[in-house]
């Protein structure tokens, strides 16, 4: 959070990259190699999701730990209340801390597989705000905590306003910053940000951006995220839907335009939903001249870190 605050205060641009844990060991190995390559773009942090229902919890932990210690980039791990008890949350936090992870995105979570409706496995963990409180109670200020925000309102919320009140409750419970659900119109985000500020939500709000990479995933994700897709985007993608390369190129151009609009609206950071893919996000970051490779440790400094042999 200190890094985000410093960037926001200096109005310096920054970005973060989100990935989900693959289902197989081979997939995990591939993803770690990809994280290593994409870390050369210079993200402020890497971000690893928690599988719905906690099914892939172990893989989330493995990838997050690998990103933090092997790739060596500051990492945020998602943690949800779905199928969790207070004890299992405490255990996951202990493991994260042991691995040097210092950032958690605290979520209620999506319903477990096979359920339409979300139900609490532990009555003490009904909302993300409960999880934020638990993390603060157990670990004080050790973790930087993010929570989710919804520029179009969360689909289960009574109203957009009620959802803003719930977001404020998460921040008041101890969250340091907000990462938003994806959206396809910069104006929706900018209005949401202003509404948050008017409600006294005074933490950084980082817009979540999904580069459009295929026709099928665009439709699926926009339905899942309950986010309207502007007609001009649907029409443009429909027109080239059988040409994956053309869809991706369109997605890159659109994302670059949207980020420029966000920047013009005073936004500094952007969070990419990469869907574990490399090309589109890399092209966007390059087009915006955001690439900032991490400094290499000088060889003589590395030598100093090697334990001295007893003479």
Q: How far is the CB of 263 from ligand FAD (least distance, A)?
A: 20
Question: Which range binds ligand FAD by CB under 6 A, 4-12, 78-86, 237-245, 282-290?
Answer: 78-86
Asked if residue 84 binds ligand FAD (CB under 6 A), the reply is no
Q: Is 83 one of the binding residues for ligand FAD (CB under 6 A)?
A: no
Total residue length of the chain: 311
Q: Are 149 and 192 in contact (CB under 8 A)?
A: yes
Q: Which is nearer to ligand FAD, 84 or 102 (CB)?
A: 84
| Cα–Cα distance, 153 to 41 (Å, whole number) | 32
Q: In the bound complex, what is the minimum distance in angstroms from residue 183's beta carbon to ligand FAD?
A: 10
Beta strand segments in the chain, E:
14-19, 45-48, 75-80, 103-107, 144-149, 177-182, 205-209, 269-273
Please state the φ and ψ torsions of residue 270, each to the nearest 5 degrees: -145, 140
> Among 179, 18, 190, which Cα is nearest to 107's?
179
Give whichever of 181 and 283 is closer to ligand FAD, judged by the CB atom.
181
Distance CA 85, CA 121 (A): 6
Decide if residue 227 touches ligand FAD (CB under 6 A): no
18 is catalytic: yes
Contact between 208 and ligand FAD per CB under 6 A: yes
Task: Report how far apart, in Å, the C-alpha atoms of 98 and of each of 1, 46, 51, 140 are.
Answer: 19, 18, 21, 15
Question: Does residue 128 bind ligand FAD (CB under 6 A)?
Answer: yes
With CB under 6 A as the contact rule, which of the stretches 74-82, 210-218, 234-242, 283-291 interacts with ligand FAD?
A: 74-82
Q: Which of 28, 52, 120, 288 binds ligand FAD (CB under 6 A)?
A: 52
Among 15, 19, 45, 50, binds ligand FAD (CB under 6 A): 50
Angle between helices 57-66 and 86-98 (to 10 degrees): 20
Which one from 12, 18, 278, 289 is the annotated catalytic residue?
A: 18
61 forms part of the interface with ligand FAD (CB under 6 A): no
Q: Which is nearer to ligand FAD, 190 or 247 (CB)?
A: 190
Least separation in angstroms between residue 188's CB and ligand FAD is 14
* Residue written as token pair 């994409």: 38
Q: In this chain, which of 15, 76, 103, 163 binds ligand FAD, going by CB under 6 A?
A: 163
Distance CA 270, CA 278 (A): 16
Residues marked as catalytic: 18
């Amino acid at each position: 959070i200190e890094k985000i605050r410093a960037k926001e205060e200096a109005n310096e641009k920054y970005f973060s990259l989100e990935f989900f844990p693959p289902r197989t060991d081979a997939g995990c190995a591939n993803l770690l190699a990809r994280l290593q390559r994409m870390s050369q773009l210079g993200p402020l942090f890497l971000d690893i999701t928690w599988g719905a229902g906690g099914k892939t919890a172990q893989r989330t932990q493995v990838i997050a730990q690998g990103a933090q210690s092997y790739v060596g980039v500051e990492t945020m791990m998602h943690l949800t209340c779905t199928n969790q008890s207070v004890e299992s949350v405490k255990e996951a936090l202990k493991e994260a801390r042991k691995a040097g992870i210092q950032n958690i995105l605290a979520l209620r979570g999506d319903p477990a597989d096979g359920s339409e409706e979300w139900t609490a496995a532990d009555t003490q963990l009904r909302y993300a705000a409960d999880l934020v409180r638990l993390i603060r109670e157990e670990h004080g200020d050790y973790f930087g905590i993010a929570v989710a925000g919804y520029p179009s309102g969360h689909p289960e919320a009574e109203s957009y306003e009620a959802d803003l009140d719930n977001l404020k409750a998460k921040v008041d419970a101890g969250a340091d910053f907000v990462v938003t659900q994806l959206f396809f119109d910069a104006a929706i985000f900018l209005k949401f940000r202003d509404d948050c500020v008017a409600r006294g939500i005074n933490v950084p709000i980082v817009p979540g951006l999904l580069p459009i990479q295929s026709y099928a995933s665009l439709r699926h994700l926009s339905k899942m995220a309950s986010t309207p897709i502007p007609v001009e985007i649907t029409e443009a993608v429909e027109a080239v839907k059988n040409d994956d390369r053309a869809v991706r190129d369109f997605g890159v151009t659109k994302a670059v335009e949207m980020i420029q609009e966000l920047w013009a609206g005073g936004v500094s950071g952007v969070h990419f939903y990469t869907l574990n893919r490399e090309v589109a996000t890399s092209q966007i970051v390059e087009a915006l001249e955001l690439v900032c490779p991490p400094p290499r440790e000088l060889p003589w400094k590395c030598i100093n870190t090697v334990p001295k042999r007893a003479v």
